[in-house]
Every structure is written in C-alpha cells, then in structure tokens.
Structure 1
C-alpha cells in the first residue's frame, strides 16, 4: 500500500510504502499525485519512504515505478529515498546513474535530513 505524505512543499510529492506494493498502488496513488504536481510545476521533488513495514514490490509495481520516471524524464529535481532496507539503498545507489534528477538515499532515522535536503 502507498500512502501520500502530507505537509510537504507544493512542489514535492511524498509517499510511504507498506506491505507489498502493487501496480494499483502506483496507478491509484502515486501517478495521480505526480500528475497533479506537474500540472503546477515544471519540476518536482519526490520523497519515497520504504521503512520497516515495507515488504516487497510486485512485478507490476516495479514496471510502474520505471514508467513513472520515463513518462517525465526532465521533470525531476530531487529524489530522496528514505529506507530501513539495505537492499533498497543498494538498488537505488546502483540505479541512480540512470534515474533522472538528483538522487540521494537516507537511512530510516534520517527522515528530517531528507526533508531538509529536498527543500534546499
């Protein structure tokens, strides 16, 4: 399940993932939030939290994740991934060269640092 994170700057979209993420989570929560933010801003920042309650991505979710970036390749300013999972941090680190925008991974305890970095 993906939940929107409230109280972020208007040019920032944030979600928190719990359990297994599916294609429907992306289609019903993330994609509409990104499209709405991009209707008002040329570039947006993105906060993605995958903490202790996150378990996995379905194959459909992984595809939707890739498609989100490809739909708007020049629309990403900063992407902060906050996670308690080493495998997520490694995956994002390896993929950051092909992910549009500036990408940084933060440990779960560094949520406030991630928000400060996105706002800077």
Structure 2
C-alpha cells in the first residue's frame, strides 16, 4: 500500500510504502501526485520511505513505476529512498549515474536527514 507523507514542503512528493504495493497503488496514489508536481513546477523531488520488502511490489506496480520514471526522465531533481534494505540503499546511491538528477539512499533511522536533503532548495 502507498500512502502520502503530507507534512512535507509543497515542492516534494513523499510516499510511504508498506505491505503489498500494487499497480492500482501506483496508478491512483503515486502517478497523479507526480503528474501534478511536474505540471506545477517542472521538476520532481521525491521521498520514498520503503518499509516493505521490494518483493512485495507486484509486477504491475514495478512496470508502472518504471514507465513513470521514463516518462519523466528529464524532470527528476532529487530522489531520496529510505529503507533498511541494504540493496535498496545501494541501488539508490548508484541510480544517480543513470538519471540527470540526484539520488541518495538512507536507512530508516536517517529519515530526518533524508527529508532535510530532499526538501532543501540548495545542494547539501
């Protein structure tokens, strides 16, 4: 399930993933918020708090997530992924080599640092 993180700056989309994440979650929760952010400001600052195993994302959810990433390829500004899954943190750090924006991985106990970084208008 995807839930909005509502207490962030308006230039950041925050999503909390728990349990099973489905195509419907991506289509009804994530995509509309990302599309609205792109229309409003032309770039994406994205915080994902991943408190579910990546195996809990259905194939449809992964496919729609990839499509969103490609559709908005030039719009990514900052991506912060917060997870205690070391592979996810490593992948997020490596992802910065494949997108024009910046990405950083954080552990769950670094959530405050992730929020500060992704919401900062200047590079930290």
Fold match, TM over 0.5? yes
Q: How far, CA to CA, are the matches of 2:42 and 2:77 in structure 1?
A: 9
Tell me: CA distance 1:94–1:59, structure 2 relative to 1, closer, same or farther (3 Å). farther
Unmatched tracts of structure 1, length 5 or more? none
Shift of 1:100: 4.0
The structure with the largest helix share of the pair is 2
Q: What is the correspondence of 1:23-102 to structure 2 with a 5 Å cutoff?
A: 23-51=23-51, 54-55=52-53, 56-102=56-102
The structure with the largest strand share of the pair is 1
Shift of 1:2: 0.2
* Alignment check: 8 A CA contact 1:12 1:45 kept: yes
TM-score, with length taken from structure 1 = 0.90
How many residues are aligned here? 118
TM-score, with length taken from structure 2 = 0.87
What secondary structure is seen at the aligned counterpart in 2 of 1:48?
strand
Q: How far, CA to CA, are the matches of 1:6 and 1:69 in structure 2?
A: 22
